[in-house]
Structure 1
Amino acid sequence: MTHSNYFYALKLPKEAKDHLQEKMSELKDKMSFKKWVHPEDFHITLAFLGKIEEEKLENSIQKMRRISTEHPRFSLRLTEMGIFGPPSSPRILWAGIDHSKKLYSLQRDVYRACEESGFRLDKKPFKPHITTARRYTGENSFNAASLRLPGDYTFTADQFTLYKTNMGMSPSYETIEDFTFHTME
């Protein structure tokens, strides 16, 4: 039996996923990665929980229901492409967004609530991004100069989600519960 990982993430609206998928389709012909992320799996991770204990998870869910009512919907703008890992052979290709105080505030609240629920979380600084591909496999060194996200794209973030990872499936992430922000911006 495999153990699933759980995480809280900002859910992208369908239109944003479609837009990003269109841009990734253009890049697939130019870049060789082992795995391109399924568009349904596009998200911005807020807190990675890993394997969970039911009591801690239920406690965190109660806190997230409250947090979602304390945050308004907000706009985010896709602006760039980037990589994690060695410049010549990156592990991750990602789409980035403009800095957003509202996103950082949400992430801080979600992260804190998870810690208060007993989860031990990664201490790395929050670097909001949307993973689009994994493990570069090209014959030549990766060319970072080819990373352009043609045109800006703005979307409204209106919810975050508790996801469960289903290894070996596509899409890989299963929605456990959505948390919708209140409507005032």
Structure 2
Amino acid sequence: MNVTRCFIAMAVTDEVKRRAQNLIDKLAASNADVKWVEPDNMHITLSFLGDITPEETIDVSRAAMRGAESVSSFDFMIGGVGAFPDITRPRTIWLGMTQGHDAFCQMQHAIAEELATIGYPETARKYHPHLSIGRIKRLSSQVERLTELLEEHAEFEAGVSPAMEANIYASQLERRGPKYTLIGRAELG
């Protein structure tokens, strides 16, 4: 069976990506063992779908379109830096959302509800919109320095992006990392 790993996400502007890369350059000075996200791969995930068939892609696209059109377009601001599970034990480093958080969560929920009608159950975890910028590959003594740098840049601002459409991406793992291909769009109402 031919399947593709897919997810639904919101793109961010080139300016946000540029500023995020500038922050990554500063955080990388910690020498912690982190796999930093390439600017071309920066996005805010709305729903991870896993492996789906080409036939399922059509249903997913339609569900995403129904969910997205129920929400008006809006602007959101990327800012603040943090980590999952927390800043003292970072595994995933992210930029948060300082404006448009509620609208973003509303959009994610509307899309998730539509996906649930076609067999993609909503996750039990509370949705936390964020822009992942790095993942710790191996814990080391440099993580302490990384935590200090995260604290120093807690008020970081990456800028504003418009939320006008949710994108459906196929993800293919290559030697250099994941490659994302846009396979569908769902415009907001």
TM-score exceeds 0.5: yes
Shift of residue 114, structure 1, vs aligned partner: 1.1
Give the conservation status (yes or no) of the 8 Å contact 1:40–1:171. Answer: no
Tell me which residue corresponds to 1:161: 167
Q: Which amino acid aligns with 2:105?
A: Y
Tell me which residue corresponds to 2:185: 178
Shift of residue 14, structure 1, vs aligned partner: 2.0
Deviation digits for residues 44-83 of structure 1 (CA, Å, limit 9, x no counterpart): 1111111114443311211222333332221212221111
Give the conservation status (yes or no) of the 8 Å contact 1:90–1:142. Answer: no
Tell me which residue corresponds to 2:105: 104
Give the conservation status (yes or no) of the 8 Å contact 1:56–1:117. Answer: no
Shift of residue 26, structure 1, vs aligned partner: 2.1
> Normalising to structure 1: TM-score of the pair?
0.83
Shift of residue 112, structure 1, vs aligned partner: 0.9
1:1-150 equivalent positions in 2, closer than 5 A: 4-85=4-85, 89-98=89-98, 100-137=101-138, 138-143=140-145, 144-147=147-150, 148-149=153-154
SS of alignment partner, residue 68 of structure 2: helix
Q: How many pairs are equivalent?
A: 182
Which structure carries more helix by proportion? 2
Spell out structure 1 runs of 4+ moving beyond 6 A: none
Once residues 31 and 83 of structure 2 are traced to their aligned partners in structure 1, the CA distance between those partners, rounded to angstroms, is 13
Q: Which amino acid aligns with 2:164?
A: D
Q: Aligned Cα RMSD in Å?
A: 2.6
Once residues 87 and 14 of structure 1 are traced to their aligned partners in structure 2, the CA distance between those partners, rounded to angstroms, is 27
> Normalising to structure 2: TM-score of the pair?
0.82
Q: Unmatched 5+ residue regions in structure 1?
A: none
Once residues 86 and 46 of structure 2 are traced to their aligned partners in structure 1, the CA distance between those partners, rounded to angstroms, is 24
CA gap of 1:114–1:141, structure 2 versus 1, over 3 A, is same
Single out whichever of 6-15 and 118-127 deviates more from structure 2.
Answer: 118-127
Which structure carries more strand by proportion? 2
SS of alignment partner, residue 94 of structure 1: strand
